[in-house]
Structure 1
Amino acid sequence: MSRRIKKLNQLFRADISALLQKEIRDPRLDTLLSVNEVDISEDMRHANVYVSHLAGDEHKDEILAALNAAAGFFRTEIAKKTDIRYMPVFHFVWDITIERGVRLNTLIDQVIHHQPED
């Protein structure tokens, strides 16, 4: 991944987070929503935006539907202040890395507690 794409990933992550906090008025998108990562494709035409909610994935489908419906808004607002040739199309994806981490910790704890002591 090029240095430019890494910088744009960070910039878009911050911009989308700021827009969520200040501009979006959809009740499905509350303040417990977190933009964890942005991953722009090498051709810069698409970007996966990984999000999670602190309360878990209970309303995952509603949240993703609202975000993907607002993807054009995010793209337009970020394009206004970003000087790049191609503004990627944003695709919002549920981030499961936190859930995987919790699951992995649980499995490690189970293994540790079931080992015979020396």
Structure 2
Amino acid sequence: MAKLRVSRVGEQLKKEIVDIVRTEVKDPRVGFVTITEVEASGDLQHATIFVSVMGNEEQRKATMDALQKAAGFIRAEVGRRVRLRRTPELHFKLDTSLDYSTRITKVLREIKEGETQDESQPEAKSGL
């Protein structure tokens, strides 16, 4: 039962944080950000927000710095919107799973293209 409540609170936090980052955070360093997941601790004291950022490494670092700087503001807004006894402390983490899956897809595509090229080449017959 407690796990169900934690997951429901996590989903509500995700909805609110997405809205806050999209509409309220005015920092120009926050680029194209996707909140992929929110994991709340069992006692709801801490919440880890996994963020996927489009762009190069420099843009990702700038966006993560801006989100860390805005964490207090975002936490205050979440506290106003979600009725909890105590608003969780927010920790932002860069989610690289999308990059990893893109890389795996690219490698698989290259392997498949290599196999189709091998099949299209006629095999040399041995002259025995």
Could you state the TM-score of these two structures normalised by the residue count of structure 2? 0.80
Instruction: For 2:18, give the aligned amino acid.
Output: S
Amino acid at match of 1:49: I
Percent identical pairs in the alignment equals 26
Q: Which has the higher helix share?
A: 2
Instruction: Report how many aligned residue pairs link the two structures.
Output: 117
Root-mean-square deviation (Å): 2.0
Q: Which runs of no fewer than 5 residues in structure 2 stay unpaired?
A: 120-128
1:22-65 C-alpha deviation (Å, 9 max, x unpaired): 111111013x2111111111221111111122335441221111
Cα distance in 2 for residues equivalent to 1:23 and 1:60: 20
Per the alignment, residue 36 of structure 1 pairs with: 36
C-alpha distance in 2 between matches for 1:57 and 1:68: 16
- What is the DSSP-based 3-state SS (H/G/I as helix, E as strand, rest coil) of the residue aligned with 2:64? helix
Shift of 1:104: 1.0
In the alignment, is residue 86 of structure 1 matched against residue 83 of structure 2?
A: no
- When Rg is computed on C-alpha atoms for both structures, the one with the higher figure is 2
SS at match of 1:2: helix
Range 47-56 or range 19-28, more displaced? 47-56
Tell me the TM-score normalised to structure 1 length. 0.85
Give the Å deviation of 1:18. 0.8
Gaps of 5+ in 1: none
Q: CA deviation at 1:101?
A: 0.6
Q: How does 1:33-112 map to 2 (within 5 A)?
A: 33-112=33-112
